[in-house]
């Protein structure tokens, strides 16, 4: 019940502030670039790469910043003095904001693909993008729980590194969520299998677990 109450507060604060409009603008931003891709080769792959860049901005902006602000901001004293399990604060933020990230990333990807190829994108690419959006939202929440003050900035850096890691031919790319998203979308040199789904879930869960563990002993 308290998770729902906190999620409601997070949503109200989002829609009454500027954050929401900026997020919307960020989601629309890649569409003109997709238009510029028309007439070039590998449209879907290039379009997907543009959409993946959204992951470096939208989840940190919506989830990382919100979790970090709540924990770093002195309003946390109100939360910690309540009979409230601390993981619920992060869970509530994810409950309220991750669906918005997922919808924005998904809608943006469909718009990018439609603009670049004049066709609705394949289902597996949409599924991969939605899963990646959720995964990066969880990672951002975990990072912001570990380092609230730098939550958004560190999340952006993390996803940029993740994108680079995903391009490496070595097996290190297994640690990259964007690599698994690209593989599941059929846009990498590897065949998608269940392990991609497992790792796409396991990496964010690990970050979230680290963050929540740290949060348990955090004082205001």
Partner 1 sequence: MSDDGVIVAERLSKWYGHVLGVSDVSWRMRGGIVGLLGPNGAGKSTLIKMMAGIARPSRGQLAVFGGAPFDDPSVRARIGYAPEHDKLWDELTALELVAALAELAGVAHGKSRAAAETALDRMGLADARHRRVRGFSKGMRQRVKLATAIAHDPDLLLLDEPLTGIDPVARVDIIERVRALAAAGKSIVASSHVLYEIEALTSEIVVIYRGQVLAEGNVYEIRKLIDRHPHVIRVECDRPRAIAEALAGAEHVVRIAFERGAVLIETRDPDRCYDQLASAVLDRAIAVQALTSPDNNLGAVFDYLTRGGA
Contact footprint for partner 1 (CB under 8 A): 1-2, 4-6, 8-9, 12-13, 16-17, 73-75, 77-85, 217, 219-220
Closest to 102 (Cα-Cα) out of 145, 70, 143, 55: 55
CB of 214 to partner 1, least distance (A): 14
Q: Which residue's CB is nearer to partner 1, number 52 or number 65?
A: 65
Q: Is 66 within 8 Å of 6 (Cβ atoms)?
A: no
Instruction: Work out the number of other CB atoms within 10 angstroms of the CB of residue 8.
Output: 13
Residue written as tokens 């959006």?
133
Backbone φ, ψ for residue 85 (5° rounding): -65, 135
Euclidean distance between the first and the last CA atom of the chain, given in angstroms as a whole number: 23
Q: Which residue's CB is nearer to partner 1, number 78 or number 120?
A: 78
Q: Which residue's CB is nearer to partner 1, number 4 or number 42?
A: 4
Q: Which residue's CB is nearer to partner 1, number 84 or number 174?
A: 84
CB of 28 to partner 1, least distance (A): 24
User: What span, in angstroms and rounded, lies between the C-alpha atoms of 190 and 180?
Assistant: 9
Q: Which residue's CB is nearer to partner 1, number 38 or number 82?
A: 82
CB of 151 to partner 1, least distance (A): 17
Residue written as tokens 């309003």?
75
CB of 219 to partner 1, least distance (A): 5
User: What span, in angstroms and rounded, lies between the C-alpha atoms of 127 and 158?
Assistant: 22
CB of 82 to partner 1, least distance (A): 4
185: three-class secondary structure by DSSP: coil
């Amino acid at each position: 019940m308290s998770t729902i109450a906190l999620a409601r507060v997070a949503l109200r604060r989002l829609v009454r502030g500027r954050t929401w409009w900026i997020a919307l603008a960020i989601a629309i931003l890649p569409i003109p670039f997709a238009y510029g891709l028309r007439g070039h080769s590998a449209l879907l792959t290039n379009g997907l790469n543009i959409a993946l860049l959204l992951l470096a901005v939208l989840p940190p902006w919506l989830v990382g910043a919100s979790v970090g602000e709540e924990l770093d901001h002195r309003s946390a004293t109100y939360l910690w003095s309540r009979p409230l399990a601390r993981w619920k604060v992060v869970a509530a933020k994810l409950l309220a904001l991750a669906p918005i990230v997922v919808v924005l990333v998904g809608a943006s990807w469909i718009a990018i693909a439609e603009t670049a190829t004049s066709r609705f994108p394949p289902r597996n690419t949409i599924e991969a993008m939605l899963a990646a959006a959720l995964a990066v939202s969880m990672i951002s929440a975990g990072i912001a729980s570990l380092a609230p003050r730098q939550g958004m900035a560190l999340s952006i850096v993390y996803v940029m590194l993740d994108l680079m890691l995903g391009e490496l031919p070595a097996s290190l790319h297994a640690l990259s969520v964007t690599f698994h998203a690209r593989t599941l979308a059929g846009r990498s040199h590897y065949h998608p299998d269940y392990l991609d789904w497992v790792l796409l879930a396991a990496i964010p869960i690990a970050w979230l677990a680290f963050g929540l563990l740290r949060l348990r002993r955090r004082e205001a």
